[in-house]
Chain A
Amino acid sequence: MSDFPRPFPARDRDTAPFWEAQDNHILQFQKCSQCAHIRYVVGPLCPECRSFDFGWIASSGRGTIYSFTVVRHQTHPAFEPPYTVLLVEMEEGPRVIAQLRAPEDADVGIGTRVHVEWEDHEQQSLPVFVPEA
């Protein structure tokens, strides 16, 4: 691993509960109290019905790879290639970005089912995805 610190989120009044939950290894989304739309990324207003009222729901942690990239050229000192970043469509609907953790010869691609595991960093715990057995 690189000594350079990994960039981490700055919590604000909208996003703090989301990131605090991740430190407790919970991936959660906002659910609109009015129209039940589950939304991500975090924001104060429902993009479907424009209600400010919402609650937090915990994700099942399971989803399907919707797209991905294998990064092979280093562009940031904290991230040494190669590594794979996934866009995972979660069972609840939102699509989440996180890295893949799998053996190098694993057969992983669009459509592969994955689940969340957690990695603790100094500033922020973050999800990674592991292929389902």
Chain B
Amino acid sequence: MTHRNKAAIAGIGQTEFSKDSGRSTLHMALEAILQALDDAGLAVEDVDAVVKMGANDDIFEIDLLRSLNLPNLRYFNEVPHGGGAACGTIAGATAAVVAGMADVVVTFRSLNERSERRFGESSVGGGLTHWRQYNLPHGLVTPAQWVAIFGQRYLHEFGYTTEELGHVSVLTRKHAATNPHAMMYERPITMDEHQNSRWISEPLRLLDCCLDTDGACAAIVVSAEKAKQLRSTPAYIAAAAQGTGSRAEMMTSYQRKSLAHLEESEATAKELYRVAELGPKDIDVIEIYDPFTPMVLMQLEAYGFAELGKSPALFHSGRLELDGDLPFNTHGGHLGEGYLHGFGHIVEGVRQIRGTAVNQPDGVNTCLVSSGVGVPTSGVILSKEPY
């Protein structure tokens, strides 16, 4: 038995993405959740479960529950590991629905990541515990710096220059440029601009790094049977999975045998394709978690869209463009639309299946969405029809 196509995303919602939302993360989360319920044609009274992302969140579950004043809640859970949790909330919601523990599950992400709490800055003092104690005392303190170690090794092993990172950024910003919801709407970049942007942590330049964003997204998961009765077009969950790897740390898993492999993403891919009974060639659109450009290249390989070390060629081939056979980050991703910890990718995946995205290729039947990278992660494959 698997959960293949037994649940669906029936509602999506999102606020505007900005540098300063002017309101609390709780306020934005509630807006996105109510919008998603309305999108599905459901009422607050229909909600009986909440699965939320855990780390780096200043929304307390109890505040959310009190604010929505949920009368019929019977299942709640929280998924750890930062951005790695985004599709994990869909996996948790699917599990609850398929197990009969819930009918209507709310999932969401809300961040004032630009105006209140920037993940790219740190003033942490003493008393470091866990994995952080081995890295932060040496000045390796932020995600860009942790990931730069992986990126440098990747470029070295396969003999690439930072221009290959630039191709990721240029294409993603091209897609953001035609998305009115994107922070970088009508602001495409050139390779020269990428190569001349200032260094952050070599080999990463400013234009290799995701945006800082205020905003919120939400998605409603229901059973496939229920989804058919609702007013929105269902995005069936062909598979939802979580995965981790050897000697796992948070973006600093430097003890594993090879830093050229994203073991967490490889594990997630394997489980997604097993459950969905699909392979990479069956995927029509991909929404790949893009915190830093090297992690996009490595994920394209982990999810089987290119062999190890060969993903840069995908960007030269045109295949990832909107008129290619594998359109990539159609909304503009974290590099161009906004950084919602992978939830913007989920919402865009649903729009792609519905056929309602602003950058909408023809004939989309399947969409693969990935979540946070170099951490225990997750992914989903969405499908237009159950099969």
The interface of chain A, by Cβ under 8 A from chain B, is 4-10, 12, 15, 39-41, 47, 66-73, 75-79, 83, 85, 87, 94-95, 97-99, 110, 123-124, 126
Instruction: Sample 15 A-B pairs with CB under 8 A, ordered by A number.
Output: A7-B136, A9-B133, A15-B133, A66-B153, A67-B149, A68-B152, A71-B201, A73-B201, A75-B120, A75-B142, A76-B124, A97-B149, A110-B152, A124-B137, A126-B137
Cβ contact within 8 Å between A97 and B141: no
Asked if A71 and B139 sit within 8 Å, CB to CB, the answer is yes
- Which single member of B126, B131, B139 contacts A5 (CB below 8 Å)? B126
A97 adjacent to B138 (CB under 8 Å) = yes
Complex interface: chain A residues within 8 A of B126 (CB): 5, 7-8, 10, 123
B313 within 8 A of A: no
Instruction: Judge whether B123 and A4 touch: CB under 8 Å.
Output: yes
A83 CA / B201 CA spacing, docked (Å): 10
Residues of B within 8 A of A12 (CB): 129
Interface centre among B127, B137, B199, B246 (most CB of A within 10 A): B137
With an 8 A cutoff between CB atoms, is B2 at the interface? no
Determine whether the beta carbon of A99 is less than 8 Å from that of B141. no
Q: Contact between A79 and B149 (Cβ–Cβ < 8 Å)?
A: no
Given A12-B129, A69-B145, list of 15 further CB < 8 A pairs?
Answer: A7-B128, A7-B141, A8-B137, A9-B128, A10-B133, A41-B134, A47-B247, A67-B149, A69-B152, A69-B201, A70-B201, A72-B200, A76-B139, A83-B139, A85-B149
Interfacial chain B residues near A97, Cβ < 8 Å: 134-135, 138, 140, 149, 252, 254
Name B's A-contacting residues (CB within 8 A).
120-129, 131, 133-142, 144-145, 148-150, 152-153, 156, 198-204, 206, 246-247, 249, 252, 254-255, 259
In the docked arrangement, what's the CA distance between A12 and B199, Å? 37
- Least Cβ–Cβ distance between A91 and chain B, in angstroms: 15
Query: Known: A70-B199, A76-B124. Is A10-B156 also a contact (CB below 8 A)?
Result: no
- Give chain B residues whose Cβ lies under 8 Å from the Cβ of A83: 139
What is the CA–CA distance of A48 and B199 in the complex, to the nearest angstrom? 39
CA distance A43 to B373 in the complex (A): 24
Q: Are B135 and A75 in contact (CB under 8 A)?
A: no
- Nearest 10 A-B pairs (CB), nearest first? A9-B133, A69-B148, A72-B199, A79-B139, A67-B153, A70-B202, A10-B127, A73-B200, A75-B142, A76-B141
* Complex contacts, A68 vs chain B, CB 8 Å: 149, 152
Q: How many Å from the CB of B292 to the closest CB on chain A? A: 11
CB-CB < 8 A to B254: which residues of A? 66-67, 87, 95, 97
Cβ B138 vs Cβ A126 within 8 A: yes
A12 to B149, CA, bound (A): 27
In whole Å, how far is A116's beta carbon from the nearest beta carbon of chain B? 13
Among A6, A8, A69, A124, the residue within 8 A (CB) of B202 is A69
In the complex, what residues of B have CB within 8 A of residue A76's CB?
121-124, 139, 141-142
- A8 to B128 CA separation, bound complex (whole angstroms): 6
- Find chain B residues with CB under 8 A from A7 CB: 124-126, 128, 136-137, 141
Chain B residues, CB < 8 A from A47:
246-247
Closest to B142 in A: A75
**Cβ–Cβ < 8 Å partners of A69 in chain B:** 140, 145, 148-149, 152, 201-204
| Nearest-neighbor residue (CB-CB) of A85 within chain B | B140
The CA of A44 and the CA of B138, in the complex, are separated in Å by 24
Give the chain A neighbours of B200 by CB distance below 8 A. 72-73
Residues in A with CB closer than 8 Å to B123 are 4, 76-77
- List chain A residues, Cβ under 8 A from B252: 97
- CB-defined contacts of B149 to chain A, threshold 8 Å: 67-69, 85, 87, 97
On whether the beta carbons of A73 and B125 are closer than 8 Å, the reply is no
Q: Are A40 and B255 in contact (CB under 8 A)?
A: yes
Chain B residues within an 8 Å CB radius of A70 = 199, 201-202
Least distance between A32 CB and chain B CB atoms (Å): 14
B131: chain A residues within 8 A (beta carbon):
41
Do residues B137 and A73 form an inter-chain contact, with CB atoms below 8 A? no
CA–CA, A85 and B201, complex, Å: 10
Q: Separation in Å of the B158 CB from the closest CB of chain A? A: 13
Cβ-closest chain B residue relative to A10: B127
Which residue on chain A has the smallest CB distance to residue B124?
Answer: A7
Q: CA separation between A68 and B247, bound complex, in Å?
A: 20
Question: Which residues on A sit within 8 Å (CB–CB) of B127?
Answer: 8, 10
A73-B199, A73-B200 known; A94-B153 Cβ under 8 A:
no
